[in-house]
Chain A
Amino acid sequence: MDSHAIAAGTADPHEGHESNEHPPYLRHHFVTVEQQRETASFGMWLFLLTEIMFFGGLFMAYLLYRNWYYPAFVAASNTLSIQLGAINTGILILSCFTMTMGVYSAEIRNRKNLMISLGLTLLLGVIFLGIKGVEYHQKYVEHHIPGLNFSVEDFVHPADPHTAPLTPDMAQHTELYFFLYFAMTGMHALHMIIGLCILLALLYRSSQGAYTNGHSSTVDNFGLYWHFVDIVWTFLFPLLYLINRHPLS
């Protein structure tokens, strides 16, 4: 526990007022500020619970189809760039750190640091999406986008002589891998885009002095959302990029 945080935390919102008055941000249907904060946090965790199930369905589909069409999933997965995936994972972890520092800064009421942290988080999020865009573009060039320009040519007649070709039947199922790849990373990217829009709003409001007046619930809960999105990527990265490099024969 940080002595600073305690000092900021125990700064009584009733200070300098009559004891029956309350801080302006305490809604009338809550008894205490702490209860209000706890309620908002509970709501956010419930929302994240539904998000676990939402992404859970996609993970489940990936797990099953990878079992069914193992050779196709291995071949398709190996067309992804591990380097770009790893860099993106690092960037997302960094953005998690800056977001946590943002939450911390709001807590100790440091507006400058809060804005710097939110700005860095925004920047890292944009870089992540940029690299994701480069990867998507590669898929487009390679004709690996289902429903747009998909071709199994790379898998039936691989350019690399060391790669064993797939039978045309099995090669068809690489499309399923790429469908799941785009569904999962696309949904993740959509969550990032929504997060970046909210970050812009948070930045604007914090520049006007919000969140550093002792009422930082919004930043706390956005932090929870941002970290959840990072956790989804933590699992997407090994599943989509890493675990298919050395197939069991």
Chain B
Amino acid sequence: MSSTEHQQHPTSPPRTYILILLALLVFTAINTGAAYLNLGFLNPIIALGIACVNAVLVILFYMHLRYSSRLMKLTFAAGIFTFMILVIMTLTDYISRGWGLW
């Protein structure tokens, strides 16, 4: 076993948590505001993009994934990967089922 495994897991100071909180609130406000503007096809892209940024901030800092072991990072990546299989395989079927008929 390496010596790092004997360390208590490090955490960020409260200052980091407050900064993340402010970032999350600001991004949510921007997201809500953007919904009132007519940006055409960009509306959903911006909304989901900002949601992704918020989710990544929560995962990295509030869930401490940034400071977690590789096993946790891999487990989380496996979850996203499996979810992407669900989405991509379903959509592949969806757009190709009636291929040429539309």
Q: A: which residues have CB within 8 A of B? A: 1-2, 4-6, 8-10, 32, 34-35, 37-38, 41-42, 45-46, 48-49, 52-53, 56-57, 60, 63-64, 67, 82, 86, 89-90, 93-94, 96-97, 99-101, 103-104, 107, 223-224, 227-228, 230-231, 234-235, 237-239, 241-243, 245-246, 248
Contacts and interface: CB of A to CB of B under 8 A. Distances in A.
13 contacts: A1-B13, A5-B13, A6-B10, A49-B75, A49-B79, A53-B79, A53-B86, A60-B87, A89-B32, A97-B18, A97-B20, A99-B62, A103-B11
Contacts of B55: 231, 234-235
Interface in B38-70: 38-41, 43-44, 47-48, 50-51, 54-55, 58-59, 61-63, 68-69
Contacts of A238: 31, 35, 44, 47-48, 50-51
A42 B28 contact: no
Classify the secondary structure of A's interface with B. helix
Interface of B: 5-14, 17-18, 20-21, 24-25, 28-29, 31-32, 34-41, 43-44, 47-48, 50-51, 54-55, 58-59, 61-63, 68-69, 71-72, 75-76, 78-80, 82-83, 86-87, 90-91, 94
B63 to A, nearest CB: 5
Contacts, number: 156
Contact of A248 (B8, B40, B76): B40
A227 B86 contact: no
Tell me the interface secondary structure of chain B in the complex.
Answer: helix
Nearest to B83: A56
A90 to B, nearest CB: 6
B41 to A, nearest CB: 6
- B29, B83, B90: which has the most chain A beta carbons within 10 Å? B83
